[in-house]
Amino acid sequence: MKVNVVAKGTGEALELGKSKDADILFVHAKQKEEDFIKEGYGVDRTEIMYNYFIIVGPKDDPNNEKMSKLSASEAFKYISDNNLAFTSRGDESGTHTKEKSLWEESGAKNDFKNYNEVGKGMAATLQMASEMKAYCLTDIGTFLATKDNLDLEVVKDADDSLKNVYSIVTISDLDKDKEEITNKLVEYYKSEDVQNQIKEYCVKEYGEPLFFVFE
C-alpha cells in the first residue's frame, strides 16, 4: 500500500476532504470532525492516539509560576487580564480550534492589545512567540522538537482540559477500491504493532512519549 502524505492543519485537511482531494484524514479537532461527518463528507471517525497541548511562555517570566497553579482556561484569562503577549497560529488548525475553545471557557476575550494571530504553522508560530517573548498554545511534540532553539519554557501541561486526540476520518463516496484501502489503513493504525510503535515513538530521543494510545 502506497500512501501519499500531505501535511496540513486540521482546517485545511477537512477542506481537502470536502473537495475529495484527500481519501482519508488524520486530524485532531473532534467537533469539526463530527460536523464533517454530519454534513455528509465523512463516513467514520476512529480515535487512534492522544497527547496534550501545553502552554509555553518566556523563560524566567515571573508570571509563569502564577499561571502554573491555574487551570488552562484560568491561565488564558490571566494572560488577557494582564495584557501579556500571546501568539496564535490563527489558521483554523486543530491547535487554533483548541485555543479558541479555551478563550471561550475562560470568559475572556482575545482582542487585547498584545494578542497576535500569525497565520503560520506550529514551528513558525513558536519561533515568533520566542522572539516576541509571548505565550503560546502548542502541541507538545512540536515544542520538544524545537525547544533547543526557543527561549520558551512550559508554563502549563498535563491538564485534562488540554488533552489532544488524534483521529482518522474516512471520506464518503469513494470508489470501492479506495474505500477498501482506506479501511485497511484504519485497521493498520489500530493494530497492536502500530499502537506499540506509537507508544515508543521518540521516547529515546526526548525521554518521554510524544503520544499515548487508548488502552
Q: What is the 3-state secondary structure (H, E, C) of 151-197?
A: CEEEEECCCHHHEEEEEEEEECCCCHHHHHHHHHHHHHHHCHHHHHH
Percentage with pLDDT > 70 across the chain: 100
> pLDDT value at position 111?
94
Which is it for strands 24-27 and 115-117: parallel, antiparallel or unpaired? unpaired
Tell me the backbone φ, ψ of residue 147, rounded to 5 degrees.
-60, -25
> pLDDT value at position 190?
97
Instruction: Give the Cα separation of 93 and 161 in Å (integer).
Output: 18
Beta bridge partner(s), residue 25: 169
Residue 67 is placed in which grid cell?
499561571
Pick from 20-24, 91-95, 157-161, 176-180: least confident: 157-161
pLDDT (tens digit per residue) in 153-179: 999 987 888 999 999 999 999 999 999
Mean pLDDT of 127-145: 96
> pLDDT value at position 160?
84
> pLDDT value at position 148?
96
| Residue pair 40/173 in contact by the 8 Å Cβ criterion | no
Per DSSP, the three-state class of 144 is helix
- CB-CB neighbours of 72 under 10 Å: 23
Instruction: Give the Cα separation of 87 and 207 in Å (integer).
Output: 28
> pLDDT value at position 11?
93
* CATH numbers and ranges of domains, the chain: 10-50+164-206 (3.40.190.10), 52-162 (3.40.190.10)
pLDDT (tens digit per residue) in 25-73: 999 999 999 999 999 999 999 999 999 999 999 999 999 999 999 999 9
> pLDDT value at position 2?
84
Q: Is the pLDDT score of 1 beyond 90?
A: no
> pLDDT value at position 158?
76
Q: What is the pTM of this model?
A: 0.88
> pLDDT value at position 215?
84
| Residue pair 28/155 in contact by the 8 Å Cβ criterion | no
